[in-house]
Amino acid sequence: MTDSKDSTKGSLDVQEGDILNPAGFENLLNFRDVGKTINDFVGEKLMKEGLLFRSARPDEATLHDRSRIQKEFMINTIIDLRTNTEHANQKKKREGQLQLPQELQSNAALLGPFEIPGVNYKLININGKSFERCLIKRLSWWSLIKMAFLMLFRQRMAAISIMGREVMQPRGLIGLGKDTLDACGSEIAETLRTISTSQPVLIHCTQGKDRTGMIIFLVLLLLKVPIKAITHDYLMSEGELEVEMEERIKEIRSIGLDEEFAGCPDAWVEEMHRYLGERYGGVEEYLKGIGFEEGVEVRLIDGLRV
């Protein structure tokens, strides 16, 4: 890893005990220490703290934010669960920001790379080809033809909006969560393997609530965390993301979805838990079925549970 001491404007005044306080980020939303969140909610130490973190995309994190990620929270691995389209869109956004002097003045990190020097990155498109096939098979033949035509002419966002309106919107976040469990087993297993060997680790997608929420949900189930506590952690994302609600709604509307997709359904965790039990026999059987090795599962549990 490269030393990032020169990547910030000045040193951070970190007080003892602040390492577990996520407040103070300038441009990083929905960040929290999952272990501390759970322990504070249940009133006892169920998880080790300072090892498992979650957030929204850190692409526009300032130099101060990047320094905190490395020096204060000691994060050495970031798992990025986003799609190729999301990465391409973020790249276009960065190119636009570089043309605006006021953006560069407020965030000098935009002049540097997306990735934080010295941090290991693992890119896992958790909703990859298998998930796409799962959704495509729900389309009518006519819609499938329209999508193929749009993709042929590189109109990817227009094609995705057909999928959004006709499949994703009717399925809702709960239905899509079930589809993720059914279709994304190999990606889920790969993510959990990475978590087991790469702590302290930060997991994120775009908003840090749905795909990230699924991974955290499965980890917490393995650790025998109460469902109420898992629900508490999941629902925190809605409030944490409130400051960019308008921007999020614009993003989701661009792919044919409504405001429901900007929030966190109250019953999401309970419904995923019920589905795992009814369809797979529980989280342990589910993970066994997707090829998540028992020895790695034990290492993951031992690494995070008190």
Q: Is residue 69 over pLDDT 50?
A: yes
The pLDDT confidence band at residue 255, using thresholds 50, 70 and 90, is confident
Report the SS3 class of residue 295: helix
Q: 269-279 pLDDT, tens per residue?
A: 999 999 999 99
Helices (H) and strands (E) in the chain, counts: 15, 5
Q: Do 8 and 64 contact (CB within 8 A), yes or no?
A: yes
The pLDDT confidence band at residue 77, using thresholds 50, 70 and 90, is very high
Contacts of 142 (CB under 8 A, 6+ apart): none
pLDDT recorded at residue 41 = 98
Is 114 among the domain residues?
yes
Is 27 among the domain residues?
no
The pTM score is: 0.87
| CATH code for position 49 | 3.90.190.10
The Cα 192–Cα 203 span in angstroms is 11
The pLDDT confidence band at residue 155, using thresholds 50, 70 and 90, is confident
The Cα 128–Cα 83 span in angstroms is 7
Is 295 among the domain residues?
yes
Output 254 or 205, whichever has higher pLDDT.
205
The pLDDT confidence band at residue 3, using thresholds 50, 70 and 90, is very low
**Domain extent at residue 249:** 32-127+175-304
Is 158 among the domain residues?
no
Is 2 among the domain residues?
no
The pLDDT confidence band at residue 22, using thresholds 50, 70 and 90, is very low
Is 215 among the domain residues?
yes
Q: What is the dihedral of CA 205, 209, 214, 215, to 10 degrees?
A: 50
The tally of domains found in the chain comes to 1
Q: 166-214 pLDDT, tens per residue?
A: 999 999 999 999 999 999 999 999 999 999 999 999 999 999 999 999 9
pLDDT recorded at residue 19 = 41
Is 96 among the domain residues?
yes
Is 202 among the domain residues?
yes
